[in-house]
Structure formats: C-alpha cells, structure tokens
Chain A
Amino acid sequence: DTEVTQTPKHLVMGMTNKKSLKCEQHMGHRAMYWYKQKAKKPPELMFVYSYEKLSINESVPSRFSPECPNSSLLNLHLHALQPEDSALYLCASSQVRLQDTQYFGPGTRLTVL
C-alpha cells in the first residue's frame, strides 16, 4: 500500500482565517514532506520531517507552521495567508533511508481570498 491521504481536498480561506491541512500515511515511513505547487510549475519543497523532527525548512514564511504529532501524521497550520499563497499543497512520505522514493498524496487545493 503506497497511499498518502490529505484532507481537505479543497480549502478557501480569508486572509485573517486560521486553518490546517492534514496528511496521513500508514506505510511506516519516518520522513514526511510538504511541497507547494503553483499552476504549471514543479513542486517546491517547504518542509521535511525526519523521525518527527523538523530537518529542513526552506525559508518558508512563519505564516506556515508545520507540525508532526506522530510518525503517521503531518499537519500544516495556516494563519494570515496572502492571496499569492494560493496553490496546491502536496504532502509526501518516504523511508528515512535517503535513497528511497517519495510517495505523494493527492494534494489540497488552497485558495486565499
């Protein structure tokens, strides 16, 4: 089973709202990732968690706050976003062995009004 699930599928929020994106995997992977993808562009890495600890933050603005409560779950908390933050947010997971493949979820389409 190579399934990564993400909720919600779509999210519309105002610039003053607080919302969260959720990602879950049950493949026993200990590395999890958040990517941002704008239309017709490749994904851009935002954060990497390894063994539930943040290992990479690609200079992402503080209005994005990741959280990894356990080895199966990854959240992305959103607050005071800007319209330019509208994008597809993809979650991925992999084994921590660095040669291993990343498996992606279906994404959350975020619109910031």
Chain B
Amino acid sequence: AQTVTQSQPEMSVQEAETVTLSCTYDTSESDYYLFWYKQPPSRQMILVIRQEAYKQQNATENRFSVNFQKAAKSFSLKISDSQLGDAAMYFCAYRQGGSEKLVFGKGTKLTVNP
C-alpha cells in the first residue's frame, strides 16, 4: 500500500521569508499524481499545487513551488514571501493513476510570524 510521510508536524516562518515543507511517499507505481492541500482554521481543504509523476518539470503556482525528486520519492513544497494568510495545516497527498483514492500524509502545521 502506498504511504505518504510528512516528517515535520510543525513549522514556523517569518513573514516575507521562505519555508520548505517536506513530503516523501512510497510507491512501486509509475503512474501517479501528487498534491499539496492547505487547510486553514476555516476548515476548507484548498488545493495549493499538483504534480503529475510523468512530468519532469516542477509545478509552480505563484509563490508556491515544488521540488519533485521522483527517484528519491520526495515532493517538497516551497512557499516564498510567506504571508500571514499562509498559516494553515498543509497536507501532502498521493493518488495512483487508475485509483479514486487520495492517500494523505499526517500534515504539517505552518505558523507565520509577523
């Protein structure tokens, strides 16, 4: 079974600084998709960024980018110019091609200090 590991239960960053959240996954499949979701205290899970395993280029969305290392099975999220509104729980998730299931990591709570 696939597993997703987020080794940092909590992280903090100063406003305007850069922070990187770690995620590793375990799979023997070649067709899969990776996601980062953000869940602020308002509770709604919001998609931050997604990466297709077949794409070598790292995905970026404005201040958010990933470092996808397929051989190492690593999928870290970099947040640049951190803002107070970035404070949330961040979940890394894996979805195997052909499966309807999302496998989530345990999450990393990000605090942004003013």
- A residues with CB within 8 A of B: 31, 33, 40-43, 45, 48, 50, 55-56, 88, 90, 92, 98-99, 101-107, 109
Q: Count the A-B residue pairs with Cβ separation under 8 angstroms: how many? A: 51
**Quick check: which of B19-27, B66-74, B80-88, B92-100 contacts chain A, the rest being far away?**
B92-100
B91–A42 contact, CB under 8 A? yes
Majority-rule SS of A interface residues: strand
Give chain A residues whose Cβ lies under 8 Å from the Cβ of B47: 101, 103
Q: In the complex the two chains form, is A105's CB within 8 Å of B102's CB? A: no
Docked Cα-Cα span, A61 to B104, in Å, equals 22
Query: Are A99 and B100 interface neighbours, CB within 8 A?
Result: no
B100 A107 Cβ-Cβ under 8 A: no
- Give bound CA distance, A98 to B97, whole Å: 6
In the complex, A17→B32 CA distance in Å?
42
Q: How many residues of B contact A (CB 8 A)?
A: 24
Give the contacting residue for A98; candidates B45, B50, B98, B106; CB below 8 A.
B98
Is residue B35 contacting chain A, with contact meaning CB distance below 8 A? Answer: yes
Segment 45-63 of B: residues with Cβ below 8 Å from A: 45-47, 50, 52
Judging by beta carbons under 8 Å apart, are A56 and B100 in contact?
A: yes
**Sample of 13 further A-B pairs with CB below 8 A, known A43-B102, A45-B101, A101-B47:** A41-B107, A42-B107, A43-B45, A43-B91, A56-B100, A92-B45, A98-B97, A98-B98, A99-B52, A101-B50, A104-B37, A104-B46, A105-B44
Inter-chain contact B44/A99, CB cutoff 8 Å: no
Give chain A nearest CB distance to B24 CB in angstroms.
15
10 closest A-B pairs by CB: A42-B104, A104-B45, A106-B44, A107-B43, A48-B100, A98-B98, A42-B91, A99-B33, A101-B47, A101-B50
